Chains A and B, each alone.
Chain A
Amino acid sequence: MNCDFCDQKATVFLTQLVEGQMKKVCLCESCAQEKGVTDPTGFSLADMLMSGTPTSAIVGTPAFIKPRGNNVKKCPNCGFSADDLNRVRRFGCSECFEVFRPEMELILRGMHQGIHHVGKVPKGYEEIHARDEKLEELRGRLESAIQTENYEDAAQLRDEIRRLETFQPSVTLP
């Protein structure tokens, strides 16, 4: 077995319970020294795994997401690929989260208290989010009304869309 941090032969094997999840790490002599893994009682494995440096080390979840070849997804906004994600364990831009949403559950497993945000929400976010969803729905209905030549409904929908579009929420998002 090789070291999770470099490719030398691993001689130190660690297992720790991190938030109910078994995490294992294999290290070679010199990496173990470097990470200060001499007294397993006093350091946190989670800390080491999350500390940023080259971590291909979470054995419970062998790769961050499906191995290369199977997953050829790429972020249309920034070009970040599944391979990049596996390599650096970080994301490229805000849109990557949309692209890799199906994999998020796996990525987040055992990492946090939960997998859904329950904290702060930007002021006005809910209001604007609701408006956008409503607009989307109305536009869809308008389209089908036009297609079925139901012009009376279409006119009504058009007015409603206009009204919503000009509606100023109490707080605007930048």
Chain B
Amino acid sequence: MMRFSTLIRHPADWMIGGSVDNAVVLTSRIRLARNLKLVPFPGWATAEQRRLAMEQMLPVIQDLRQMKDAFAQSLSGLTAVQKQVLVERHLISREHAARTEGSAAVIERRQSLSIMVNEEDHLRMQSIRSGLNLRVAFDALNEVDDELQQRLPFAFDRKLGYLTTCPTNLGTGLRASAMLHLPALVISDQIGQVLNAIGRMGLAVRGLYGEGTESLGNLYQISNQSTLGEAELKIIEHLERVIAHVAMHEANARLKLLEDEAVMLHDKMGRSFGILQHAWLIDSKEALNHLSVLRLGANLGFFPKETVRLCDTLLMEIQPAHLQLNVGMKLSPEQRDERRAQIIRQHLQNVPAPVKVSPQPKNLPFSDPPETPEL
């Protein structure tokens, strides 16, 4: 079986883009919730019932062709930091990390498929891809679901669809989401309007880091809320259309900023770059916000293209549990700030200072996709 250290050694392709365009949409994620017939749901089951359910499901999951040589571990066999690392990588949920005996996680080698056993539902499966690729992520997960369904008695009802612990997941049990980097919409003060419009379309938006409306690093997650009364592909197509539209707005806002306020942008790049390259103490909030600026700059040509990849790697590596795993010991917040600054300096040492960028010729490369919803 795969060791934790092997699983976590490298960031997954989906975390750093690979060959996919992830300038605005970083990742696409699909989650399916499934439960066993008759067996009490994890939150209502006794410890013994949970254990039995896990023993019924785990071998079937590990037997999946897609899970060959996967990482499989009972949550009681992981340390708090290890669990937190999995949360920071979005491989398990925060709720799942809080569980111990009777819960498990199975994670595919490339970290693009993970299955939580006895989370809120008996099974929470998720598939992740970089860029805007919800359909691809869904097809992969749907196949896994088909195979599990032949060997596990899933709770299904003609009228209510797949039965889930919480009624908000009934029907398809599908949550599709994408993570977007929207710095230009924030800088140009259009973000509130865009988020409102998304909310009115029955979709949920939240900042990826930070509480409430605040979003650190200008990272936002958009997802569907409704799971019942619409077919899977319809949910996904609708979401994908809205996201493509938001991404187009962001891309145009970036070019507009470059056209109208090149000096202001250059100034921002220089300041963020200076701080990241020379800070010796930096907290998450400050780091995320400057990395966001750098990421934008790399996309607009202020920094070499590969800088996007560096930023995405750092977004992962500077999180508290990753820092602690990296040094192999528990760190106080102050020690973390020191370590965070050090890792950032290392990664950015070969990145040159921002260069002057002249605005692109007028023709915007991003035109409206067909049938865009009103924003």
Contact = CB atoms under 8 A, between A and B. Distances in A.
Interface of A: 19, 34-39, 41-44, 46-47, 50, 52, 77-78, 80, 84, 88-95, 97, 104, 107-108, 111-123, 125, 129, 171-174
B220 to A, nearest CB: 10
Given A117-B158, A118-B171, 14 more contacts: A19-B202, A36-B212, A42-B196, A50-B166, A89-B167, A90-B41, A90-B167, A92-B44, A93-B44, A95-B38, A112-B168, A117-B160, A117-B172, A118-B229
A117 B157 contact: yes
Contacts, number: 162
A22 to B, nearest CB: 15
Given A117-B171, A120-B172, A123-B146, A94 B155 contact: yes
A32 B146 CA distance: 43
B229 A93 contact: no
Interface stretch (B71-79, B124-132, B203-211, B249-257): B203-211
Contacts of A117: 157-162, 170-172, 228-229
A95 B226 CA distance: 23
Nearest to A20: B202
Contacts of A123: 146, 149-150
Contact of B39 (A93, A113, A115, A173): A93
Contacts of A91: 41, 44, 163-167
Contacts of B38: 77, 93-95
Contacts of B226: 19, 111-113
B170 A108 contact: yes
Contacts of B172: 117, 119-120
Contacts of A108: 167, 170, 228
Given A35-B212, A41-B196, A93-B41, A114 B230 contact: yes
Contact of B212 (A38, A92, A94): A38
B212 A43 contact: yes
Given A93-B41, A94-B35, A113 B230 contact: yes
B280 interface: no
22 contacts: A41-B192, A42-B195, A47-B225, A80-B44, A90-B43, A91-B165, A91-B166, A92-B40, A93-B155, A94-B37, A95-B38, A112-B171, A113-B229, A115-B229, A117-B159, A117-B160, A117-B229, A119-B230, A119-B231, A119-B232, A120-B232, A174-B152
Nearest to B157: A97
B34 to A, nearest CB: 10
Nearest to A104: B160
Contact of B163 (A94, A113, A118): A94
Contact of A92 (B41, B156, B211, B232): B41
B138 to A, nearest CB: 11
B228 A113 contact: yes
A36 B211 contact: yes
Given A117-B228, A118-B231, A174-B153, A36 B160 contact: no
Given A47-B206, A50-B225, A89-B166, A38 B213 contact: yes
Main secondary structure of the interface of B (DSSP, over half): loop
Nearest to A39: B213
A69 B231 CA distance: 38
Contacts of A47: 204, 206, 225
B106 to A, nearest CB: 19
A108 B229 CA distance: 11
A122 B171 CA distance: 12
B174 to A, nearest CB: 7
A19 B38 CA distance: 33
Given A50-B225, A94-B155, A119-B230, A113 B202 contact: yes
Contacts of B158: 117, 129
A100 B44 CA distance: 16
Contacts of A80: 44
Contacts of A89: 166-167
A84 B151 CA distance: 31
A112 B156 CA distance: 18
Nearest to B212: A36
A89 B164 CA distance: 12
3 closest A-B pairs by beta carbon, nearest first, are A36-B212, A114-B229, A117-B161
A111 B160 CA distance: 13
A90 B170 contact: no
